[in-house]
Structure 1
Amino acid sequence: MSWLKSGAIALAALVVAIVVGLASWEPLVAEESAPPPQRTYSAEIVRSEYGVPFIYGATDADVAYGVAIAHAQDDFFTLQDVAAMSKGRYGAIAGEDGAMFDYAYQLLDAGGTAAREFPRLPADTQALFNAYAAGLNQYARENPDEVKLSGLFPVNGVDVAAGFVLRQPFFYGLGNVIGPLVEGEELRREYGSDIPGFPREGTQIDHATPTPMPGNETDDEATTTTQVLETQADARRPLVLPKGEEADHLGSNAWAIAPERTDGPTVLISNSHQPLRGGVAWYELGVQSGEGWHFTGANFPGSPFPFLGHNRDLGWTNTVNRPDMIDVYELEVDEDALAYRLDDEWRDLEVKTVTLPVRMGPLTLPIRRTIYRSEHGPVIRNDDGWFAIRYGGMGSAEQLDAYYRINKAQDFEEWQSQIARLAIPSTNFIYADREGNIAMIYNAAIPDRPEDVSADWRGILDGTRSDLIWDGPVGFEEIPSIVNPASGWLYNANNEPFTAAGAEDDLAPGDFSPVLGIERKQTNRSWRAYKLMSEAQVFDRATLEAIKYDTGYERRGYLADMYDALGALDESDLTPDLVEARALLLDWDFTADNKGRADALALLMIRDFMSAEYQNKGVYPDIREHLQAAVDHLSEHFGRIDPPMSDLLRLRQGDVDLPLDGGSDTLRASTTWSVEEDGRLALVHGDSFIQWVEFPQDGGRVRSRSIQPFGAATTRPGSKHYTDQMRLYVNHRLKPVRFYQDDVRAHAASTMRVTNAF
């Protein structure tokens, strides 16, 4: 029987070898990045009393190097996730969820695009990104015990650029096209206005003719056609990133008010709604170089510069917009799956096999996938056929340069000239400056689709027609913008750009081609902001604070639908607890202020109705089942159906646990939460970085205040800056922004010099 024993030993050895191989293969086969060009950098990191870093350097590149180190000191954990995404290796850290990003990385050719386009950027922009990469590499070398994935470093400027190329398209809905195509599901569509009544479960939501703002009505016949076409343009564009980013409710609020309406400064209020943690969570910082770069604001992990904020003369903020930026083409592919027909000839499909690392416990599995590409763009094969995707900003990395340039702009003309490049593929810009200018730019690199061809741009296009393959965006003059409206105010709350400045100044939808696919939607925040702004006589601090932190709802849209459905419920068919809950909700004051008995119930009810509308799901939740689930949750965890909402909704980080107000789609946004073991709802997405900027008209210094939900040291539990802004946040308070160097140093909690001298 010795042969059996020998066989068992051999089998055991083989199993061990396989396990060892699966545990160690990924770093060995991963493509190693060349380090950035060798150069000496030196920066000073000065932290405020709240730990917010201000980075000083002789050159812009020195500052970018310091930005990387400062951010790594506070959140190297997340920076590594972003670095792994930027190299197509996130699955080796985050398993199946990470592999979804890696598939998108390969499908979109993010690495190839960055490698091709990065060398074409101006030398100073390349230097900025290489310096940032050098800072990340230095922190990784000096802190090897924090590195999560072997071989992840060094990174270089091309790797950092690839992260931008990968993530930007998901802000305008690419994930909700890729996902259904990969799964062979129907793309989410919007439906016409011929569907009567409330959309019960299994029926469709009618979004085709949104209710206009008071005073914003336009010609009925022209508007109906435009509204239907443009609403359909937004049909498959809900804001969903690959699983794990919690981006289904990405939003934001923004306001700009001219000095004649404030009786003082030009005011800019930045109120972004992002996940509070992770790769698209805001990080606050300030920068100043000897080359004239002086800015304070916030960025996402993986960026060498702020994405929003202000310098001495001007500032801006962003809100997510939802234009039709994506077209899908059905290809005719030959039997061998090697070629596709375009007009009267057959073209070779580009074919590449990639290996996606998928971590499963201690092992990392190699999952093989085939990536296809046609002249249209990335190609996905499913049971229904072959589909190519083309999207705004595809194949470009110019946004890296555009963001850098607007950081250093000194006046509106210089700033707008960079926005006009449409290099930043999407997001609205709300602008204000020292000269009293305010502006709203519906920034979107909308495809320059030919209007003189027969095609349904909202449906699946004929992939055999080369005349449907557009090249580049429309001109800047074709997209909506408002500069210095007579009303003296501008706002956006992820609504259509046709309600922005009041009835006398708003743009007319009929002035813009339906082929542009500009969304025709309102959020409840938009209805509320429009009403409050239109009613205000003067925009002093108290008035603006009341608007920004408003917790009220308007009974319109999905909320009106929900209440109509509640009212239509037959009480004789309800249990006593549902009868009581229904009565509480029907008597609710539509204010999520922690005062009403129905606030907690309303909080649980509203979010999924909002999500159904915002994501174009086509159906609302079943009202009776949804009400029952809310009642069951409150009864189980609180022993009553009317607990104070602040007992239910919490801001939690470490050992700090605080009550919150606001709700999904209120101007005080507490949008998305996780359900904790104790039944409480811990906020994960909503009001995140808030910055309030005032540009005096007397030539004085720009003043600003800000807040973060937790603190500057976002993943460092041992730091005093892990939770030190939480109480200010829940109490609607802001902290001072230290912008000028004398103020920064006067309030410095720490100062350190960093260098990589060779």
Structure 2
Amino acid sequence: MSGRQFGSRVRRFASGALALGVTSALLTALVPGAAQAADSEVDRGGWTARISRTEYGVPHVLAHDFGGLGYGYGYAFAQDNLCQLADQVVTARGERSRHFGPDGQSVDRVGNLVSDTYQQGVLRTGTVKRLLATPAPLGPTDEARQLVDGYVAGYNRYLRDTGPDHLPDPSCRGKDWVGPITADDVWNILYEVNTMSGSAAAKQQIATAVPGAGDALASGAAPAAGAAPAAGAALAPGTSEEAAAVPLIGAPGRSADNPELGSNAWAIGRDASRNGNGLLLANPHLHWAGPERFYQAQLTIPGVLDVAGAGLYGIPFLQIGHTRGLAWSHTTSYADHFALHRLTLVPGDPTAYLVDGKVERMVEEKVQVAVRAADGTPSTVDRTVYRSRLGYVLANGWTGQYAYTFGDANAENLRSLNQWLAIGRAQNLDQLRQAQRTYQGLPWVYTTAVDSTGTTWFTDASAVPHLPDEQLGRCLAAVTPLGPVLDGSTTACDPGSDPDALVPGVFGPANHPSLTRTDYVANANNGPYLTNADAPITGLPTVYKGASERMLRSQLSLRMIADRRSGTDGLGAPGFTLGSLQATMFGNRVQSAELDRDDAVALCRAHPVIAGSDGTQVDVRPACDALAAWDTRADADSHGTVLWQAYRDALARTGTTAWQTVPADPAQPLTTPRGIDAANPDAQRALADAVKDLATRGLPVDAPIGSVQRWAGTPLHGCSHQLGCFNVLMTAGPDSGTGGGTYPTNLRTVPHGTSFVMATELTDHGPRTRTLLAYGESANPASPHFTDQTRAYARKQWMTERFTEAEIRTAPGLTITTLRR
């Protein structure tokens, strides 16, 4: 597209905006002379971008090239969230302790000194710089580089125009840690996101590793050769003391302290929709604070790219969205994205280890972390990060005999931006598949997609270590709940490779789990096995967690689809429409209640007075009445959800499932395990404890969920993953402050769960889309877009997306800004 054509389109938008009465203060350089200036600027190699803001402040960025697109997107994002990105940059540079002190906490709940030590170690490896110097597809494409350069320039332009002392967000206004950013900062943030399910989730263990200082491990018999679990089965915890001492590394969506993080995604095909169109529901679950927030936008280069959706903070493109002919979403993959190996150390030298009988030495990355004391006094802390041939060395278990090493399957991944750019240009599933084969950049997510033919596709195209079950059995040294620990003393236990894999050590596209259907594919963070209830994906290697037990939420997900297809959910005739897809999303059904509520009522009817765990007699009859009257939903005004959560929490604390009457049954994967045994003492005590818990908190037994689940004073619907809510939303109370920068001290106190929600129907006339960004476009409490969509979420009020030029032009309150560089 020529500069003159771009100027012509800008003039058309300007005239439309003026006709709507947009004030000159909100319209920057949108007169014919300015358009001509833009043409000459383009001829000199400059960037031009137009930002149109529609309802709720959603930016629609129009440019004639990728540099201009990044320029507009970076500027728009900085208008809303400059402080958040500035904080991410401080983290990526390993400078949190310098600005906020060593004892504060970063967003991933590790101390600032730990975060800085880890990040400085990453920078010392030079991995990102090396990948940046590598041609595509392993390195960034020219388009990706232009996009990042433009994004940085747009951010810096807003900062320069506004001035650090006049920023609208008080959390960083006038702070010494706010300044211009570089392209390296953005690439380092992207690398951090790519390794979220790997080394970035193990920062504490990596940054605190000291040679020989780990806890001594009692001798325990290692599993026998060939003892790998059956293909597709979840690995069970080991029984040896050694296995128990191996560190458990958290990962997005499945860490022990953060089980809510995950997502739902449905692709509805022509055979399951009422009119034969394809539909997609995107429902990622992430924190409402910190860099895991989504930012909604539309990015357009006429004739080249037109994509709408949402992207994570700090990444200059969208990760979830739709084009005219394709819609897709991501959910957290439960496959292994790292490999743990046990190193056999050289006696007397804890930084040397044996490989095939030969001695190899660990690489020692020495880092210096600048630290500011509470009184402002600066100092420097010296630390060392250790790496083996198989990855970072961990703190736990590092004795004089063994050390454990962590191999991240995404350690060489800077390709994800290439991947998302290619997806954003795709118009059908063939082009989406080709994008995956070309770049193989998706780090730790499943992909669920549908195109305008009404064909759906699911795949786990994430980076998964190439560890077939035979190799797991032959190399197994210990077992943990998150995966096997392999023998690192022989190269025979290194991850292998597929011939179609771009990088060594991972499965290639030909071996990725995938399913194509014309009815539906769906994922709610369950393994690939029941992507479609009628077409199980079988025969997968154990590392893909293929046949893991159905979680309550994933069970409900498939039941909701079945009920809509049969028309038994009360939402009208069978088959999905855009309206019924929206209604299903916010139906707020609770799987555990649908399976077990009646049993709980029967229990308390049979035992009206029960002794709690402390022996106190508790009258549970009011609780019984509340449960019996409950609608088994998690609407904000549902009376009984709070009590049910307390009861399920108390049942979990028993540490047993003996209270269940029906065990897990592979023949009934969507409704088992289930049932509560009224005669079981644990089940009885748990109910008494739940009633006492609510009384201690000053809550009536019939308290509605909206009375305890609020954000900025707004009652919220939705409930926990553990209850089996599809619409996951939880908060434990108001934010308790910050640990430096803009990160909350305790992310468990702020909402997490449903964030960006998108329902899209791909019609012959283009996409019809409804969206909600549950926390709004801005993290700045002073912004009008901080909680405007939170209030809409509370009302279950979706926004009609504006995708075409005509739709954007007629938006009430439209504002337009044109930037030239």
TM range (shorter): 0.7 to 0.9
Aligned to 2:381: 367
How far apart in 2 are the matches of 1:555 and 1:241? 20
Match of 1:263 among 270, 274, 277: 274
Q: Secondary structure at the match of 1:159?
A: helix
1:324–1:519: 8 Å Cα contact kept in structure 2?
no
Cα deviations across residues 248-299 of structure 1 (Å, max 9, x unaligned)? 4211111111233223221111111111121001111111124612111111
The residue number in structure 2 matching 1:341 is 354
**Is 1:307 the equivalent of 2:332?**
no
Q: Which of 549, 573, 580 is residue 611 of structure 2 equivalent to? A: 573
Moved more, 534-543 or 669-678: 669-678
The alpha-carbon deviation at position 714 of structure 1 amounts to 2.9
Over 3 Å counting, the alpha-carbon distance change for 1:319 and 1:374 in structure 2 is same
Q: Are 2:132 and 1:118 aligned?
A: yes
Residue in 1 aligned with 2:761? 694
CA apart distance, 1:432: 1.2
Show structure 1 runs of 5+ residues with no match: 1-37, 188-222, 614-621
The alignment status of 1:712 with 2:712, answered yes or no, reads no
Taking structure 1 as reference, are residues 631 and 186 closer, same or farther at Cα in structure 2, changes over 3 Å only? farther
What is the DSSP-based 3-state SS (H/G/I as helix, E as strand, rest coil) of the residue aligned with 1:415?
A: helix
Question: Matches of 2:215 and 2:254 in 1, distance apart?
Answer: 16
1:35-50 aligned at under 5 Å gives the runs 40-50=46-56
Distance 1:153 1:626 in 2: 54
**Per-residue displacement from partner, 1:559-610 (whole Å, max 9, x unpaired)?**
89x9799889995533344634764687566433356643221234446878
The CA distance in 2 between the partners of 1:116 and 1:675, in whole Å, is 44
Q: Deviations over 1:684-703 (max 9, x none)?
A: 1121111111111xx31211
Pairing 1:276–2:280 present: no
Q: Within 5 A, what are the aligned runs for 1:201-220?
A: none
Residue 436 of structure 2 is aligned to residue 435 of structure 1: no
Seen in structure 2, the aligned counterparts of structure 1 residues 690 and 110 have a Cα distance that, compared at 3 Å, is: farther
Correspondence 1:703 to 2:749: no
- Contact kept in structure 2, 1:45 and 1:53, CA below 8 Å: yes
What is the CA-CA distance between 1:230 and the residue it aligns to? 5.4
Please, which moves more after superposition, 581-590 or 154-163? 581-590
Residue 351 of structure 1: aligned partner: 364
SS at match of 2:390: coil
Question: Cα distance 1:179–1:557, how it changes in 2: closer, same or farther (>3 A)?
Answer: farther
Match of 1:405 in 2: 422
Between stretches 275-284 and 325-334, larger displacement belongs to 325-334
Equivalent residue in structure 2 for 1:553, among 590, 608, 613:
590
The CA distance in 2 between the partners of 1:323 and 1:569, in whole Å, is: 44
| 1:464, distance to aligned residue in structure 2 (A) | 1.7
Q: Is the 8 A contact 1:566 1:586 kept in 2?
A: no
* Partner-residue secondary structure (3-state), 1:130: helix
Which SS does the other structure have where 1:278 is aligned? coil
Mapped to 2, the partners of 1:224 and 1:344 lie a distance apart of 28
Pairs aligned (count) = 662
- What is the alpha-carbon distance in structure 2 between the residues aligned to residue 516 and residue 123 of structure 1? 33
TM-superposed deviation, 1:109: 5.0
Q: Which residue among 389, 400, 414 is the counterpart of 2:431?
A: 414
Paired position in structure 1 for 2:727: 669
Are 1:90 and 2:96 counterparts? yes
CA contact (8 A) 1:273 1:687 kept: yes
Partner of 1:684: 751
Q: CA distance change for structure 1 residues 83 and 469 in 2, over 3 Å: closer, same or farther?
A: same
Cα distance, 1:529–1:259 mapped onto 2, change above 3 Å:
same
Of 701, 706, 713, which aligns to 1:641? 701
Q: Which residue of 2 aligns with 1:135?
A: 154
Q: Which amino acid aligns with 1:593?
A: D
State the partner residue of 2:561.
Answer: 533
Q: What residue in structure 2 maps to residue 754 of structure 1?
A: 819
User: 1:735 maps to which residue?
Assistant: 799
CA shift digits 1:361-420 (9 cap, x unpaired): 453664332111111111124464322111212122111211111111232212111223
Determine which of 360, 363, 377 is the counterpart of 2:391.
377
Q: Which residue of 1 aligns with 2:59?
A: 53
| Paired residue type of 2:366 | T
Q: Is the 8 A contact 1:692 1:705 kept in 2?
A: yes
The answer to whether the Cα contact below 8 Å between 1:173 and 1:239 also exists between their aligned partners in 2 is no
SS of match in other structure, 1:498: helix
The answer as to whether partners of 2:365 and 2:386 remain within 8 angstroms in 1 is yes
8 A Cα contact 1:379 1:389, kept in partner:
yes
Tell me the SS of whatever aligns to 1:691: strand
**One-letter code aligned to 1:125:** A
Contact 2:233 2:546 in 1 (8 A): no
Query: Structure 1: how far apart are the matches of 2:552 and 2:216?
Result: 28
What residue is the counterpart of 2:677 in the other structure? none
1:72-221 matches, within 5 Å, as 72-93=78-99, 95-98=103-106, 99=112, 100-109=114-123, 112-120=126-134, 121-142=140-161, 143-145=163-165, 146=167, 150=176, 153-171=179-197, 175=201, 179=205
Deviations 1:55-80 (A, max 9, x none): 11121111111111101111112111
CA distance 1:572–1:300, change in 2 (3 Å): closer
Q: Match for 2:640: what amino acid?
A: A
Deviations 1:64-118 (A, max 9, x none): 1111110111111211121122222234455532324333324555872211101
Tell me the SS of whatever aligns to 2:562.
helix
Please, what is the CA RMSD of the aligned residues?
3.9
Which runs of no fewer than 5 residues in structure 2 stay unpaired?
1-43, 107-111, 135-139, 218-227, 239-245, 496-503, 566-573, 656-681, 737-747
Partner amino acid for 2:420?
A: Y
In the alignment, the residues of structure 1 paired with residue 285 and residue 149 of structure 2 have an alpha-carbon distance, to the nearest angstrom, of: 30
SS at match of 1:743: helix
Pairwise CA distance, 1:660: 2.8
For 2:131 and 2:395, locate their aligned partners in 1 and report how far apart those are by CA, in whole Å.
Answer: 28
Question: What is the aligned partner in structure 1 of residue 231 from structure 2?
Answer: 226
1:531–1:43 distance in 2 versus 1, CA, 3 Å: same
Report how far residue 740 of structure 1 moved.
1.2
DSSP 3-state at the match of 2:55: coil
The answer (yes or no) to whether the contact 2:194–2:416 under 8 Å persists in 1 is no
Rounded to whole Å, the distance in 1 between the matches of 2:63 and 2:449 is: 27
Q: 1:282 to 1:455 in 2, by over 3 A?
A: same
Equivalent residue of 1:50, what SS? Answer: helix
* Structure 2: distance between partners of 1:752 and 1:674: 40
Report if the CA contact (8 A) 1:376-1:389 is conserved.
yes
Residue 314 of structure 1 deviates from its aligned partner by: 0.8
Report the counterpart of residue 808 of structure 2 in structure 1: 744
1:603–1:612 distance in 2 versus 1, CA, 3 Å:
same
Question: Match of 2:127, as an amino acid?
Answer: T
Equivalent of residue 463 in structure 1, options 484, 488, 497: 488
Alignment check: 8 A CA contact 2:232 2:544 kept: no
The residue type paired with residue 251 of structure 1 is G
Alpha-carbon distance in structure 1 between the residues aligned to 2:654 and 2:588: 21
**2:529 corresponding residue in structure 1:** 498
Q: Give the letter aligned to residue 429 of structure 1.
A: T
Distance (whole Å) between structure 1 residues aligned to residue 269 and residue 82 of structure 2: 40
| Residues 628 and 179 of structure 1: CA distance in aligned 2, closer, same or farther (over 3 Å) | farther
| 1:198 counterpart residue number | none
Change over 3 Å in CA distance of 1:512–1:551 after alignment to 2:
same
Stretch deviating more after TM superposition (105-114 or 248-257): 105-114
> 1:671 is matched by which residue type in structure 2?
L
Identity over aligned residues, as a percent?
A: 21
Tell me, yes or no, if the aligned pair for 1:176 and 1:241 is still in contact at 8 Å.
Answer: no
- In structure 2, C-alpha distance between the alignment counterparts of 1:415 and 1:500, rounded to whole Å: 19
SS at match of 1:713: coil
Distance 1:368 1:501 in 2: 53
AA at the equivalent of 1:373? R
* Contact 1:607–1:671 (CA under 8 A) maintained in structure 2: no
Output the CA distance in 2 between the equivalents of 1:452 and 1:261. 39
